[in-house]
């Protein structure tokens, strides 16, 4: 029995040693090294607003900054640091012709440089004029007081006629799709809505329209009719000749009738 056990133990030892030799002598597993190549994207600075800039505001220290953008994604109309590195200094005291939000890229055509006059002169396109007309303080002639700067309106003239001994009134649209530059004196908030209450409205018109406005203001009362924002999107700028031959409302003895001029 002892000899048999010894024989079995010997065989086991020999088998274990052989297995150990096979494992120990085998070559180590092959490993593959992976190299990650990081591609550097060319960057450039884009001039953006550091904070919100209101319409008509002068650019102050800290209003502008450089933001890093991928060079190939910068639109041609934007201001690059590589081509205009002193833009922050050059645009100091410029007047903003439109509103900028924080982080929004600055465009040179929306800023007016070297302008010592007010916002209106800076915001007028070449060839246009700013004309102020009198409106009702209560908003009766200005869409209930909800006309704001940059809205577009139609200007309606109402004229009293006493010919024939009967008092009559005629109203007609004398200008269409006119941009409002300024209105009233202050902006108030009512029920979460911004409303402007004031005594005058300043409109953007061409020289011929300016003459029509002054004459109409002299002979009658002017009212503003607020246009839908969808109409503004369809037709930017005044209608042809800035006039309309739309219907006339004639009021006699409290009765209204319509016609065309």
Range from 49-53, 74-78, 160-164, 223-227 carrying the lowest mean pLDDT: 160-164
Residues 113 and 75 in one domain: yes
pLDDT at 74: 93
Are 109 and 150 a contacting pair, CB within 8 Å?
no
pLDDT at 191: 61
Which residue, among 210, 199, 196, has the nearest Cα to 238 in the 3D structure?
210
> Does residue 212 form part of some domain?
yes
Residues 94 and 186 in one domain: no
> Does residue 7 form part of some domain?
no
195 three-class SS: strand
Considering the entire predicted model, what is its pTM?
A: 0.50
DSSP 92: T
Q: Say how far apart CA 12 and CA 1 lie, in whole Å.
A: 17
Residues 220 and 95 in one domain: no
Residues 156 and 244 in one domain: yes
What does each C-alpha distance from 59 to 26, 42, 82 come to in angstroms?
A: 76, 30, 22
pLDDT at 220: 86
Q: Say how far apart CA 158 and CA 117 lie, in whole Å.
A: 34
Residues 194 and 80 in one domain: no
Q: Of the candidates 79, 96, 122, which is a domain's last residue?
A: 122
Residues 153 and 222 in one domain: yes
Q: Of the candidates 104, 122, 140, which is a domain's last residue?
A: 122
Residues 189 and 233 in one domain: yes
Q: Say how far apart CA 6 and CA 20 lie, in whole Å.
A: 21
> Does residue 81 form part of some domain?
yes
Owning domain of residue 179: 125-260
What are the structure tokens assigned to 67, written together? 């933001």
Q: How confident is the model at residue 28 (pLDDT cuts 50, 70, 90)?
A: low
pLDDT greater at residue 161 or residue 158: 158
Residues 161 and 194 in one domain: yes
Q: In this structure, what CATH number is given to the domain that contains residue 56?
A: 3.90.1210.10
Residues 194 and 253 in one domain: yes
> Does residue 17 form part of some domain?
no
* Backbone torsions φ then ψ of 81, nearest 5 degrees: -70, -35
Q: Which residues contact 157 (CB under 8 A, 6 or more apart)?
A: 171, 172, 173, 174, 216, 219, 220, 221, 222
What are the structure tokens assigned to 177, written together? 């799709």
Q: Structurally, how many domains does the chain consist of?
A: 2
Are 85 and 109 a contacting pair, CB within 8 Å?
no
Residues 150 and 90 in one domain: no
What sign for the dihedral angle of Cα 202, 206, 211, 213? negative
Q: Say how far apart CA 224 and CA 196 lie, in whole Å.
A: 14
pLDDT greater at residue 142 or residue 136: 136
Q: Of the candidates 69, 97, 122, which is a domain's last residue?
A: 122
pLDDT at 4: 64
Residues 211 and 112 in one domain: no
């Amino acid at each position: 029995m002892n000899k048999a056990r010894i024989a079995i133990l010997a065989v086991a030892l020999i088998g274990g040693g052989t297995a150990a030799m096979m494992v120990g002598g085998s070559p180590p597993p092959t490993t593959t090294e992976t190299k990650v190549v990081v591609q550097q994207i060319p960057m450039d600075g884009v001039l953006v607003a550091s904070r919100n800039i209101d319409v008509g505001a002068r650019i102050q220290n800290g209003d502008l900054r450089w933001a890093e953008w991928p060079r190939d994604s910068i639109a041609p109309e934007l201001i690059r640091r590589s081509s205009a590195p002193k833009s922050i200094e050059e645009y100091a005291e410029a007047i903003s012709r439109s509103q900028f939000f924080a982080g929004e890229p600055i465009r040179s055509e929306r800023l007016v440089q070297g302008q010592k006059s007010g916002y209106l002169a800076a915001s007028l396109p070449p060839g246009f004029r700013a004309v102020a007309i009198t409106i009702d303080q209560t908003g009766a002639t200005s869409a209930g007081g909800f006309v704001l700067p940059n809205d577009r309106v139609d200007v309606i003239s109402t004229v009293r006629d006493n010919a024939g001994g009967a008092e009559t009134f005629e109203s007609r649209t004398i200008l269409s799709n006119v941009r409002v530059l300024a209105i009233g004196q202050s902006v108030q908030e009512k029920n979460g809505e911004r409303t402007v209450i004031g005594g005058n409205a300043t409109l953007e018109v061409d020289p011929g329209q300016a003459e029509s406005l002054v004459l109409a203001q002299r002979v009658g009362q002017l009212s503003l009719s607020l246009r839908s924002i969808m109409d503004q999107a369809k037709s930017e700028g005044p209608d042809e000749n800035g006039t309309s031959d739309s219907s006339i409302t004639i009021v006699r003895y409290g009765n209204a009738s319509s016609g065309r001029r």
